[in-house]
A and B are shown apart, each in its own frame.
Chain A
Amino acid sequence: MKPAPFAYKKARSLEEAIALLGEHKDARLLAGGQSLIATLNMRLSQPSMLIDINGISGLGGTAHKNGKVEIGALVRHVQAERSELIAKHAPLIARAMPHIGHPAIRNRGTLGGSIAFADPAAELPACLLALDGEIDAIGPKGKRTIRAQDFFQGLFETALGPQEILTAIRVPAGTKEARIGFAELARRHGDYAIVGLAASARGDGKKLSDVHLAYFGVGATPVRARKAEAAMANGSVDDAVAALDLEPQDDVQTNSKTKKHLAGVLLRRVATQLMEARS
C-alpha cells in the first residue's frame, strides 16, 4: 500500500525537533525508518508529519569512557556490527547485531530507533535490559537519563514523553569477570525471534553472580527472569529452568507452551556461554 499523506521536515537540531513535536501532536520522528516506513506503507500509522532527525549532528558516535560504552542514537546497526570498540567493550551488543534483519535493513536502522520503537521481539531492548543499560533523552524540560529497567513499559510503549527524543544509550563496558550470553530462535534468519535471551553475569570460573536474563519475544516488553537468575547464581541450571516464570502469549507462529519450553532450551544454551570465561 502507499502511505497516507504527511508533511515532512528535516530537523537541523534537537531543539528544532523538540519544537516540531510540540507543534504537531501526531508527528513521528524518522531515524532509520525501517520499522516506521513499513507501518506507514501499510497505513497502520497515519502521522500528519515526519520529522527527519538523520541530519542532526552529534548523535552518531560511539565512545568508551568512564567504564561505559556510549552509543549515539543515530549509530546505524551496520556501524555497530563492524565496530571494534563495541566488539571489544560491549560484546553482547556485537553478538546480537547479525540477528537484526538483513544487511540492507542494518545499513539504515539505528540503535536509538530500535530502542525507542521497543518491539517486544527485538534484540537490542533485551540487551540493554541484560546489561542494566541507560537511555539518554532530551525533551522540552531538558535532558534526563532513564534506566533500562524503567524504560520499557508496555507493548511498543516506553518511558519517553511525547516530545522526548532518545539521544544515546549507555552500557557498562565489559570487565575481566564480565560474561555474556545470547541466543535466539527464529524460523528464518533475520526474522523477529520466536524467543530470545540476552544475558550477562559476573563469573569466577563456573560460578556466576549478578546474573541478568533478559528474554525477548515472550511478553509486551523484554522480561527479566529473576527467579531463574537467582537459581543460576546458586549454581543450578536445572533449577533455573524450572524457575522460569515467563507468561508468553500465543502468537501467529507459535503457541505459549512452546515458547515457554524454548525459553528453557535457550537458558541451557546461554548458561553454557555464561560459564565460559572470556578469552
Chain B
Amino acid sequence: MSALDISLTVNGEPVSERVEPRRTLVDFLREDLALTGSHVGCEHGVCGACTVRVNGEIVRGCLMLAVQCDGATVETIEGLSDSGEIADLQLAFEQRNALQCGYCTPGMLAAAQDLLKRAQEIKNVPSRDEIREHLSGNYCRCTGYHAIVDAVEAVARARVVSKP
C-alpha cells in the first residue's frame, strides 16, 4: 500500500523518510536508517532484542510501526551510548561479562536503564529479584542472567551513592 512521509527525531537528529505502513519501527531503524544496533529476535514482542526508547519510554520496536512514530523522539542504543547516559552500565556489563554474543545487549541495556532511572528517582536500590523481574521480558540465551543481575545491581548501588 502507498508509502507515507514521516518526520521524527532519532538520536537527536531530525529524520524525514517515506515508509510503507507495514514497516515496523525496528526494521525502519535498521533498514532505512542503517542503525543496526537494535536487533530483531522474534517479531512477536517476546524476546526484547528490539527494545528502544520512544518519547522517553521503552517499547518493543517490533510492535510499533514506523508510521506511528511520526513526530516522535526515538532513542536507540547508538544514541543512548553516544550521549553517555548509560556509560556506567556499559562499563559494568563489560567488566562483569554481562554479555557474550551481544545480540540481546542493546535491548537489555535499554530495559536496565529504564529500571535504574526510576529507581534512582526514588533513591532505591532494587533487589536482585526486582532486577530479574524488570528484565524478565529480555531473553538472553548466553549468560544465564546471573552476570547481568550482578552488573545492574552494582550500577544501581553506585548511582544511589554517587547522586544522593
Contact = CB atoms under 8 A, between A and B. Distances in A.
Chains A and B touch (C-beta atoms under 8 A apart)? yes
Interface residues of A, number: 31
- Could you tell me the dominant secondary structure of chain A's interface residues? loop
Given A38-B62, A103-B114, A105-B137, 9 more contacts: A1-B43, A2-B43, A7-B2, A8-B4, A33-B65, A34-B45, A37-B45, A38-B45, A41-B44
Contacts of A189: 133, 136
B58 A52 contact: no
Most chain A beta-carbon neighbours within 10 Å: one of B44, B45, B70, B134: B45
A50 interface: yes
Contacts, number: 93
A248 B49 CA distance: 34
- Could you tell me the dominant secondary structure of chain B's interface residues? mixed
Contact of A108 (B21, B63, B67): B63
A108 B59 contact: yes
A204 to B, nearest CB: 36
B35 interface: no
A1 B162 CA distance: 45
A104 B58 contact: yes
Contact of A104 (B20, B43, B48, B67): B48
Top 4 nearest A-B pairs (CB, nearest first) are A102-B137, A8-B21, A107-B57, A189-B136
Interface residues of B, number: 32
A104 B45 CA distance: 9
A27 B65 CA distance: 16
Nearest to A7: B1
A50 B64 CA distance: 12
A190 B43 contact: no
B22 A2 contact: yes
Interface in B107-144: 111, 114-115, 133-134, 136-138
